[in-house]
């Protein structure tokens, strides 16, 4: 049984950029396991809190189906409804668009979605682990290119601490609370600190090792998008 | 708390020792974070109280249909010269549609507001007001340093930090972000922005004061002169503006080229 480094104190110190937290994680006997545990626990607990918030919000608003019926009733009283509904093709088209709009728009405008929030209890830990591993491995490769001194396990352990700003998602236990992109910037700052601490890099090398994995992933995404578009064009052209 | 208030006050008076005190602390980033959240929440209180009062009021806000229709008529008159003459028949048709839509919309809104909810009314309205209020520090956006929000503090801050480092700055991340959070101090004035006529002036004053504090914070935390401090703070905005202009120029040139081809 290894020595347990993780504690609430360490997590909070990492969140607020204390070098001590990153050094402690780097020097742990198994930083990878500590990092994995941290990501799963944060993602799971915040998803659970967000589910409570979504459920409370859902209890405080009228059922979406009844709102939809009232608005449809109002539309049916508009002067254009009569001529439009006389055309069966137009009516079918309207019905299709209407149903699709009610699937797509309510979540975008913050309508409570307890089902989606329940799904996040599984989705957030899994996506958290995938993002952490992909970024961590790439960041390790770039750090080693810059003559970094850390091991892969140390890199993964310290970069897992960059997941701590995700804890703010727990604020969504309060219904209708929204959080913008600051979490991503905060994570970037923590990743820089993690790589600097793990690999003992200078500030410029640490910055490049932090940013280059994201640039690589962006280029890969563009290439994959282009490849998918080309395949689609080929497929459509063949029909 | 008392000590921190004193630091904020001294920072607002540009006393260097206040900036040095923050920059040298191990928990500088935490202090900066707490400062931003506290000031954003304090200044958001009047709006929150207004939202709570609205939420507690039964029914939906009254809509003056005839006043709204007069506004629509004025808008049509105003855009007339831009889109060409709109015939009186077409104008009447547009106005009739808008009026009908407005009346039906108000009726539908009343019906929706009257629908029963599992939790008693006005719980939903109170939840929405509370959610909006607590989201403020996390979602507010605008011109850098014109808002007390994490997005501007961190998002703009990393660029300033980068340029400062390139110019030989010596600050660590925690010290830099801790001191630059002091820019939020003057924004406490915006608590009074609900006062008619004074509000916008207070916001402008807080913005200018905040920018000056930000420059001083950058200068002190990085240990260089004001020239480099101003440059580090200005460069992200200048380069950002240049990139936007280049992008817009490129799009314009492409459009012109395409229209020439046609």
Listed ranges B82-91, B195-204, B222-231; the one with the highest mean pLDDT: B222-231
The interaxial angle of helices B173-180 and B157-166, nearest 10 deg, is 120
Least confident range from A105-109, A197-201, B26-30, B176-180: namely A105-109
Best probe of the A interface among B101, B138, B171, B178, by most A CBs < 10 A, is B138
Mean pLDDT value of segment B201-223: 96
What is the reported pLDDT for B94?
79
Question: Does residue B75 carry a pLDDT above 60?
Answer: yes
Mutation target vs B (from A55, A56, A74; most B CBs, 10 A cutoff)? A74
**pLDDT value at residue B129:** 94
Confidence of residue B51 (pLDDT cuts 50, 70, 90): very high
- Mean pLDDT, residues A25-48: 96
Quick one: pLDDT at residue A174?
Answer: 95
Between residues A100 and B93, the one the model is more confident about: A100
Cβ pair B138:A77 closer than 8 A: no
| A98: contact with B, CB 8 A cutoff | no
- Which of B238, B98, B221 shows the shortest CA–CA distance to B167? B221
Q: Is the dihedral of CA A182, A187, A190, A196 positive or negative?
A: negative
Averaged over A192-221, what is the pLDDT?
A: 96
Whether the Cβ atoms of residue A206 and residue A199 lie closer than 8 Å to each other: yes
The pLDDT, as a whole number, for residue B84 is 60
Inter-chain touch A60–B107, beta carbons under 8 Å: no
Among B27, B105, B130, the residue with its CB nearest the CB of A16 is B27
Question: Quick check: B79 and B225 in contact, CB under 8 A?
Answer: no
Distance from CA of B123 to the nearest CA of A (A): 6
Picking from A166, A167, A178, A172, the residue whose alpha carbon sits closest to that of residue A54 is A172
Residue B119 to residue A77, Cβ atoms within 8 A: no
Query: How high is the pLDDT of residue B93?
Result: 79
**Under 8 Å between Cβ of A108 and A22:** no
Tell me which residues of chain B have a C-beta less than 8 Å from any C-beta of chain A.
26-27, 29-30, 33, 96-97, 100-101, 104-105, 107-108, 111-112, 115-119, 123-124, 127-128, 130-132, 134-135, 138-139, 141, 149-151, 154-155, 158, 162, 165, 173-174, 177
Q: What is the pLDDT of residue B262?
A: 57
Residues in chain A with CB shorter than 8 Å from the CB of B155 are 181-182, 185
With cut-offs at 50, 70 and 90, classify the pLDDT of residue B83. Answer: low
Interchain proximity B112–A62, CB inside 8 Å: yes
pLDDT at B63 over 80: no
The number of C-beta contacts closer than 8 angstroms across A and B is 112
* Band of pLDDT at residue B86, cut at 50, 70 and 90: low
Residue A1: pLDDT above 60?
Answer: no
% of chain A at pLDDT higher than 70: 98
Which residues does chain B have within 8 Å of residue A79's beta carbon, measured at their own beta carbons? Answer: 96-97, 100
Whether the pLDDT of residue A239 is over 70: the answer is: no
- Predicted local distance difference test score (pLDDT) of residue B56: 83
- Spatial separation of the C-alpha atoms in residues A199 and B46, rounded to whole Å: 49
Q: Looking at the predicted structure, is the pLDDT value of residue A107 above 90? A: no
pLDDT (0 to 100) of residue A104:
86
Report pLDDT for B59.
62
State residue B186's pLDDT score.
96
pLDDT of residue B50: 93
What is the structure's pLDDT at A159? 97
Inform me whether the pLDDT recorded for B69 exceeds 90.
Answer: no
Query: Which DSSP symbol is given to A175?
Result: T
CA distance B175 to chain A (A): 10
Pair of tokens at residue A77: 């009283």
Residues of B in contact with A182 (CB under 8 A): 138, 149-151, 154-155
Among residues of chain B, what percentage have pLDDT more than 90? Answer: 57
Collect all residues of chain A within an 8 Å Cβ-Cβ radius of residue B124. 57, 60-61
CA–CA dist A200, A157 (Å, integer): 15
Q: Mean pLDDT of all residues in chain A? A: 93
- Chain A: give the shortest CA distance to residue B103, in Å: 9
Q: What is the predicted pLDDT for the residue at B170?
A: 93
- How confident is the model at residue A192, as a pLDDT? 97
pLDDT at A238 over 80: no
Q: Which of B53-62, B79-88, B103-112, B225-234 has the lowest average pLDDT?
A: B79-88
A202 touches chain B (CB under 8 A): no
d(CA B138, CA A190): 18
pLDDT(B67) > 80: no
């Amino acid at each position: 049984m290894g020595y347990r480094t993780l504690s609430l104190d360490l997590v909070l110190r990492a969140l607020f950029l204390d070098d001590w937290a990153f050094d402690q994680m780097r020097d742990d006997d198994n930083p990878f396991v500590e990092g994995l545990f941290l990501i799963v626990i944060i993602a799971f607990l915040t998803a659970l809190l967000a589910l409570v918030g979504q459920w409370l919000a859902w209890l405080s608003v009228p059922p979406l189906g009844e709102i939809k019926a009232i608005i449809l009733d109002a539309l049916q009283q508009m002067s254009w409804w009569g001529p439009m509904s006389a055309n069966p093709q137009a009516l079918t088209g309207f019905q299709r668009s209407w149903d699709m709009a009610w699937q797509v728009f309510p979540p975008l405008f913050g309508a409570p979605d307890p089902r989606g929030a329940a799904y996040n209890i599984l989705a957030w830990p899994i996506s958290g682990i995938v993002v952490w591993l992909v970024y961590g491995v790439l960041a390790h490769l770039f750090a080693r290119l810059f003559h970094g001194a850390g091991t892969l396990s140390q890199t993964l352990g310290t970069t897992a601490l960059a997941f701590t700003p995700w804890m703010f998602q727990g604020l969504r236990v309060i219904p209708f609370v929204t959080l913008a992109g600051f979490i991503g910037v905060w994570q970037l700052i923590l990743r820089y600190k993690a790589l600097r601490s793990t690999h003992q890099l200078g500030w410029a090398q640490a910055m490049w090792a932090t940013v280059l994995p994201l640039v690589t992933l962006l280029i890969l995404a563009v290439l994959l998008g282009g490849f998918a578009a080309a395949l689609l064009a080929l497929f459509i052209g063949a029909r | 708390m008392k000590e921190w208030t004193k630091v904020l006050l001294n920072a607002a008076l540009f006393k260097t020792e206040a900036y040095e005190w923050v920059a040298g602390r191990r928990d500088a980033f935490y202090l900066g974070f707490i400062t931003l959240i506290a000031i954003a929440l304090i200044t958001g209180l009047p709006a929150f109280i207004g939202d709570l009062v609205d939420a507690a009021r039964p029914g939906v806000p009254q809509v003056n249909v005839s006043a709204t229709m007069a506004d629509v008529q004025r808008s049509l008159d105003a855009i007339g010269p831009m889109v060409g003459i709109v015939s009186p028949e077409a104008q009447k048709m547009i106005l009739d549609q808008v009026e009908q839509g407005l009346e039906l919309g108000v009726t539908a809104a009343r019906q929706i507001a009257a629908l029963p909810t599992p939790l008693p009314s006005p719980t939903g309205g109170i939840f929405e007001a509370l959610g909006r209020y607590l989201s403020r520090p996390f979602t507010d956006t605008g011109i850098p340093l014109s808002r007390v929000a994490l997005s501007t503090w961190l998002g703009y801050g990393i660029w300033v930090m980068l340029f400062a480092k390139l110019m030989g700055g010596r600050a660590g991340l925690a010290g830099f972000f801790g001191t630059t959070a002091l820019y939020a101090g003057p924004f406490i004035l915006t608590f009074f922005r609900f006062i008619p006529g004074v509000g916008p002036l207070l916001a402008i004053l807080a913005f200018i004061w905040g920018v000056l504090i930000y420059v001083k914070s950058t200068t002190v935390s990085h240990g260089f002169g004001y020239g480099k401090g101003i440059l580090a703070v200005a460069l992200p905005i200048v380069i950002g503006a240049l990139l936007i202009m280049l992008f817009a120029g490129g799009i314009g040139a492409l459009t012109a080229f395409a229209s020439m081809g046609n």
